[in-house]
């Protein structure tokens, strides 16, 4: 896995992790809040049902009060009239009133006539509890509510029912009515479905936002990566072109030195030898002088060849390493120019990578050449230090210095050559100079490339 992919993953994974955690927390809280709202809704709806039931029972009591509360009527006739009134008193689709005596015997039940005359005192609900006994106890206590399962006429099956019962004290009858609350379950289920739908939509929204965010991050990463590749390719092309130009310039200089230096010397030797041969043929005694001149010129040619060879690749650099080669170069420079050289060379390993050694050597060589030709300096300080895998070079002088414009005119080619050599190896090159304050040159390279 490449470094760029790792960086991209480090950007995406925390985002996904945080988003997942936030989503889980939000969904959990939304579900809890939804359940609380459902419970509140169910409680409010149930409370409204209870209030409605009490109103119905109060209405029934009002309907029979003119009979139940008159002591002058015969009890048997009064009870018959109350039964008749309650039997015919209905409300809604499934609303009716029921009456049981204190022993659980059915007295009024419009929807289930078969219950009339039967005792339900021992009837149990689905949980095994005595249903009729609970209703009778609530009625004796002054009235109360009870929820249970009972047959619903319109459904032709059982459904949840909430009843409210009171006692008719004169006869110890239990009067009550009930409302089927299966519609509450339907409403609760409907609200729960809506809550679940909202939670799903929230989850899908978060998922879409996260996906879009991840895609945007990936696209940005790809764009940056592509931009980096394009810049790297452009820099590489530029560097390659500069390197080719540098090679061409070096070859042109080498060709010019061969043509103007060694070639001229060789031609001069050839002319001297030809002249000596003619004088020998003519018996001229001055032939020895021509041979001596030819020998001197040939010796100069040999020295020139050695110089060019040394410029191309100094043998001391191959044999003894960079410190020895620089010390030799600086000693020759100091002897030739009478410029004092202060040096500090601190390198952990005597041998550095070949390309680093030759680059440092050439930078120092070119710097000395520029100082000799342009700086008018009396002291030069050279410092080379190695810190871990970094090698640093500093060359300073106390010469006349230059402005950027003057530097381009006097030292432009040399500075460009040094910069290109350093940057070709991925290093950093810089110069600082002011008129009258000398010049400072810095180069920094990584030994591992």
C-alpha distances out from residue 169 to 101, 106, 140, 166, Å: 11, 17, 9, 9
Do residues 403 and 364 make contact, with C-beta atoms less than 8 angstroms apart? no
Question: How much is the pLDDT for 309?
Answer: 61
With respect to residue 416, please indicate whether it lies within any of the assigned structural domains. yes
Q: Which of 180, 201, 216 is the last residue of a domain?
A: 180
With respect to residue 205, please indicate whether it lies within any of the assigned structural domains. no
Q: Which of 180, 204, 236 is the last residue of a domain?
A: 180
Helices then strands (H, E): number in the chain? 11, 11
Domain total of the chain: 2
3-class state of residue 375 by DSSP: helix
Nearest to residue 110, comparing CAs of 87, 90, 91, 129? 87
Question: How much is the pLDDT for 38?
Answer: 79
With respect to residue 438, please indicate whether it lies within any of the assigned structural domains. yes
3-class state of residue 185 by DSSP: helix
CATH number at residue 345: 3.30.565.10
With respect to residue 336, please indicate whether it lies within any of the assigned structural domains. yes
Q: Where are the alpha helices (DSSP H) in 258-353?
A: 263-282, 287-312, 315-320, 322-337
Rounded distance between C-alpha atoms, residue 287 and residue 280, angstroms:
6
Four-residue CA torsion sign, 409, 413, 419, 423? positive
Whole-model pTM: value is 0.43
pLDDT tens-digit series, residues 105-152: 999 999 888 999 999 999 888 778 899 999 999 999 999 999 888 887
Do residues 407 and 431 make contact, with C-beta atoms less than 8 angstroms apart? yes
Question: How much is the pLDDT for 175?
Answer: 94
3-class state of residue 395 by DSSP: strand
The HSE-up count of residue 400 (CA atoms within 13 Å, CB side) is 12
CATH number at residue 146: 3.30.450.20
Within the chain, which residues score under 50 in pLDDT? none
Element (H, E) at 175: strand 173-180
Question: Other C-beta atoms within 10 Å of 333: how many?
Answer: 19
Which phi and psi (to 5°) does residue 175 adopt? -105, 135
Rounded distance between C-alpha atoms, residue 206 and residue 420, angstroms:
53
Rounded distance between C-alpha atoms, residue 226 and residue 241, angstroms:
22
Q: How far is CA 377 from the centre of its chain?
A: 55
Nearest to residue 397, comparing CAs of 439, 340, 448? 439
With respect to residue 361, please indicate whether it lies within any of the assigned structural domains. yes
Supply the range of the domain harboring residue 371. 314-446
Nearest to residue 443, comparing CAs of 369, 366, 354? 366
Do residues 177 and 9 make contact, with C-beta atoms less than 8 angstroms apart? no
Q: Tokens for 423, please give them.
A: 């940057």
With respect to residue 304, please indicate whether it lies within any of the assigned structural domains. no
Rounded distance between C-alpha atoms, residue 332 and residue 338, angstroms:
10
With respect to residue 97, please indicate whether it lies within any of the assigned structural domains. yes
Do residues 139 and 212 make contact, with C-beta atoms less than 8 angstroms apart? no
With respect to residue 377, please indicate whether it lies within any of the assigned structural domains. yes
Q: Tokens for 310, please give them.
A: 């040394």
Question: How much is the pLDDT for 199?
Answer: 79
Question: How much is the pLDDT for 272?
Answer: 73
First-to-last alpha carbon distance for the chain, in angstroms, is 22
Question: How much is the pLDDT for 57?
Answer: 92
Q: Tokens for 95, please give them.
A: 């609303």
Question: Other C-beta atoms within 10 Å of 108: how many?
Answer: 22
pLDDT tens-digit series, residues 49-89: 889 999 999 999 999 888 877 767 788 888 899 999 999 98
Q: Tokens for 389, please give them.
A: 């895998």
Q: Which of 160, 180, 200 is the last residue of a domain?
A: 180
C-alpha distances out from residue 279 to 150, 273, 283, 287, Å: 150, 10, 6, 6
Rounded distance between C-alpha atoms, residue 165 and residue 48, angstroms:
16
Question: How much is the pLDDT for 42?
Answer: 78
C-alpha distances out from residue 244 to 241, 248, 253, 284, 355, Å: 5, 6, 14, 54, 17
Q: Tokens for 50, please give them.
A: 């209870």
């Amino acid at each position: 896995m490449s470094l760029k992919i790792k960086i991209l993953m480090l950007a995406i994974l925390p985002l996904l992790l945080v988003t997942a955690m936030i989503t889980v927390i939000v969904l959990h809280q939304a579900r809890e809040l939804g359940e609380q709202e459902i419970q509140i809704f169910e409680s409010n709806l149930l409370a409204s049902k209870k209030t409605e039931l009490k109103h119905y029972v109060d209405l029934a009591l009002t309907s029979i009060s003119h009979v139940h509360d008159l002591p002058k009527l015969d009890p048997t006739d009064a009870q018959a009239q109350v039964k008749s009134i309650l039997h015919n008193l209905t409300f809604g689709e499934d609303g009716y009133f029921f009456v049981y005596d204190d022993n659980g015997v059915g007295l009024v039940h419009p929807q289930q006539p078969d219950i009339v005359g039967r005792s339900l005192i021992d009837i149990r609900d689905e949980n095994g509890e005595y249903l009729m006994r609970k209703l009778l106890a609530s009625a004796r206590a002054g009235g109360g509510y009870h929820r249970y399962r009972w047959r619903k006429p319109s459904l032709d099956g059982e459904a949840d029912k909430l009843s409210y019962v009171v006692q008719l004290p004169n006869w110890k009858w239990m009067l009550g009515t009930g409302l089927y609350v299966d519609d509450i379950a339907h409403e609760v289920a409907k609200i729960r479905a809506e809550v679940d739908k909202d939670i799903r939509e929230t989850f899908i929204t978060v998922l879409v936002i996260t996906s879009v965010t991840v895609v945007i991050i990936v696209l940005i990463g790809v764009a940056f990566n592509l931009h980096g590749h394009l810049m790297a390719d452009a820099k590489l092309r530029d560097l390659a072109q500069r390197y080719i130009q540098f090679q061409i310039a070096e070859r042109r200089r080498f060709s010019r030195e061969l043509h103007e230096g060694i070639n001229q010397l060789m031609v001069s030797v050839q002319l001297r030898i030809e002249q000596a041969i003619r004088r020998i043929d003519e018996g001229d005694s001055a032939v020895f002088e021509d041979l001596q001149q030819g020998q001197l010129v040939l010796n100069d040619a040999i020295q020139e060849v050695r110089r060019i060879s040394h410029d191309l690749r100094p043998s001391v650099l191959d044999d003894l390493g960079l410190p020895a080669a620089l010390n030799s170069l600086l000693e020759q420079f100091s002897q030739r120019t009478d410029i004092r050289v202060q040096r500090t060379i601190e390198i952990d390993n005597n041998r550095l990578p070949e390309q680093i050694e030759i680059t440092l050597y050439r930078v120092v060589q070119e710097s000395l050449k520029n100082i000799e030709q342009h700086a008018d300096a009396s002291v030069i300080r050279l410092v080379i230090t190695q810190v871990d895998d970094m090698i640093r070079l500093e060359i300073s002088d106390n010469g006349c210095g230059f402005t950027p414009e003057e530097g381009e005119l006097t030292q432009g080619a040399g500075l460009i050559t040094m910069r290109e050599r350093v940057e070709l190896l991925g290093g950093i090159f810089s110069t600082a100079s002011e008129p009258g304050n000398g010049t400072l040159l810095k180069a920094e390279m990584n030994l591992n490339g």
